[in-house]
Amino acid sequence: MSPFDLDRDAAYQAWKAQKLTHYPTSLSDLVVEVQDPFAMTRDEVHAILNLCAKTNMALFRLAHPEKIQDNPLPAMTARLGVHQLDRNLGADSDGLSALTPGGAAFAPFANYIPYREAAIGWHTDGYYNPADQPVQTLCLYCERPAHEGGENDLLDHDLVYIQLRDTAPEVLRTLMLPDVMTIPARLAPDGSIARPERSGPVFSVTPQGHLHMRFTNRTKSIRWRSDDATQHAVDTLRQILNASEPQRFRGRLETGWGLISNNVLHTRAAFADPPDGPRRVLYRARFFDRLPTP
């Protein structure tokens, strides 16, 4: 019985109790030190996967980042058990996206916000993906942090679901409608449709029974259902995201640090690098499959 069936309370209460028991309260609780990212030990793998099973995210810190010559993400994600890489247009030939100014492999994406220094509000990755190809796993690796800024906020979407279900279940029903949020089509320079519009729910349940969230806090290039219930639902969700919660984690990935997650809600602060100095380099890998449960 699914804990996410809004008409079944017993399964939900049992899931919630397990979820909230011993939930981490500080960013340091999420950190796993990795000695060799190209030969992760069983204990390191289990530590990361156990954290992701509990909080939908874990941070890793390489013990010797100065010794790393190649990008460790492909080896680490394979060892963690995710393989269905989202080879999007902005990614390089290896499927990784370099989130640095000018880092888009597809030139028309150069001015898209992930490849700029601007701040990014709350979102999950791949909210414009088709419904049958959701981004379930999001991983980041920092090769070099920005000179200033670039911090991230991280928030487990399960906790947002719990708050809504306990206080505003009618909002949750609205946010689970199949056409509540639409991302308009992306047009090519010649006016043709490069990507069709995509509609879908904010909260959904995957065929494997996991909760999935699809959201962006952007106010342009987005269309919500035009009814009072949806407006109220979006306002309520934004109030939750803007509130101060003890389980909201904030920090900055430094050299040799990374994030492994079930595509949790996250932000990015604006950053700046000296015009004649080294630039921030952060790599992103996105997968259609979800991190396995240990």
Every domain of the chain and the residues it spans: 23-287
- Write the CB contacts of 3 (distance below 8 Å, at least 6 apart in sequence): 11, 12, 14, 15, 16
Nearest-10 crossing angle of helices 157-167, 228-242: 120
Task: Kindly report the pTM of this predicted structure.
Answer: 0.95
Least confident piece of the model among 41-45, 93-97, 143-147, 264-268: 93-97
CATH number of 23-287: 3.60.130.10
pLDDT of amino acid 248? 93
- Tell me what the mean pLDDT of segment 149-164 comes to: 97
CB 287 within 8 A of CB 44: no
pLDDT of amino acid 152? 97
